[in-house]
Amino acid sequence: MRGSLLALALLILATAALSEVRIDPRLDYLLRLRQEGQSAPQGPPAQDLPDPTVPGRLDALAPRLAAEEKFAGSVRFTAAPGAEEIEALRALGVEFYDFGRGAAGSRTVYPAEIPFDALPEVARHGGVAAVECSWRPGAPPPLARSRPQVEADLAWQVEDAYGEPLSGEGVLVCDLDTGVLYYHPAFFKLDGNSYNWIDVDGNGALSTGDVVDLDRNGLPGANERLRYHEAAGTSGYGNATGYDPNFDFLYNDANNSGGRNYGPPAYGELSPCYGEVYFLTDDANSNNASSRG
């Protein structure tokens, strides 16, 4: 009795270990085709099969794939495989892609040609987490769905002045790309730390000599100079001379050079804040200007 229980426990453990390996549902479908003599089974495919083309069947390539000895796919390992694991699978007939430097892969995923008959043994290999297929079942062309949704068929029935259907021929479509200043304050939100503006000269507006209270001591510091520069090409949109928080750049001139130039000679993605720090204005009184009160 004890021996039977032990055997049953080992069987359960072995089954559980095998069930942890994920077999691509497309492979299940191809295996069904092989078992049925490479003829498509009747009825709709299983619900978990991807991209059915027509209700009740997958694309016509499936029977031909199922008739092959091997399928193109990939083996996903639980961890980066060593040479012994690769060789153990090669002994089962798995052909890994090799460009003179050993099996090619990306740490845990290795593309391979895998024999259908070896699939159970491959799945039982202790280091294998999943076996997948590279076949992508055909799907209806996107226009078959999007064309009626956008009513393109109706547009094609419209005729031009010469009685010909509108085709778009001879119409120039262009895109004017002026570039993007991706660090412009307009692309950011007021969701960081807040600092007070100190109106050093007391004129009620941002001017030379004013500072941003970075250390929050209420006193102007040598490295706390606050400046702005005009956003180029915005005068036609209402940006007058003087700081306008809707358009202009507000920054901490930490080295007091009169321009935003502190940092590496060519600061970029790896440089904090792309040079001297930019700020957004919290226009609390909604007067569209830097002011007191």
pLDDT in tens, 7-17: 333 333 333 34
- How far lies 108's CA from each of 27, 101, 119, in Å? 20, 16, 18
CB neighbour burial string for 198-232, b if at least 16 within 10 angstroms, e if fewer: bbeeeeeebbeebbbbbeeeeeeeeebbbbbebbe
Binned at pLDDT 50, 70 and 90, residue 139 comes out as low
pLDDT of residue 67 exceeding 80, the answer is yes
For 13, the 3-state DSSP assignment is: helix
d(CA 279, CA 276): 10
pLDDT in tens, 232-250: 778 887 888 888 887 888 8
Can you read off the two tokens belonging to residue 85?
């694991």
Task: Tell me whether strands 70-77 and 197-198 are parallel, antiparallel or unpaired.
Answer: unpaired
Sorted by where each begins, the domain ranges of the chain are 19-38+51-133, 178-293
Residue 257 CB contacts under 8 Å (≥ 6 apart), including other chains: none
pLDDT in tens, 30-59: 888 888 875 444 444 444 444 433 334 456
Residue 78's CB is within 10 A of a number of other CB atoms, namely 13
pLDDT in tens, 13-33: 333 344 467 888 888 888 888
Can you read off the two tokens belonging to residue 174?
């262009």
Pinpoint the alpha helices (H) of the chain.
2-19, 25-35, 61-66, 83-90, 119-124, 143-149, 152-156
Q: Which amino acid is at 293?
A: G
User: Does pTM surpass 0.75?
Assistant: no
Whether 22 and 123 have beta carbons less than 8 Å apart is answered as: no
Q: Does domain 19-38+51-133 have CATH number 3.30.70?
A: yes
Residue 108's CB is within 10 A of a number of other CB atoms, namely 15
Q: Which amino acid is at 206?
A: L
Say which residue, 215 or 45, is predicted with more confidence.
Answer: 215
CA angle 124, 14, 116 (to 5 degrees): 25
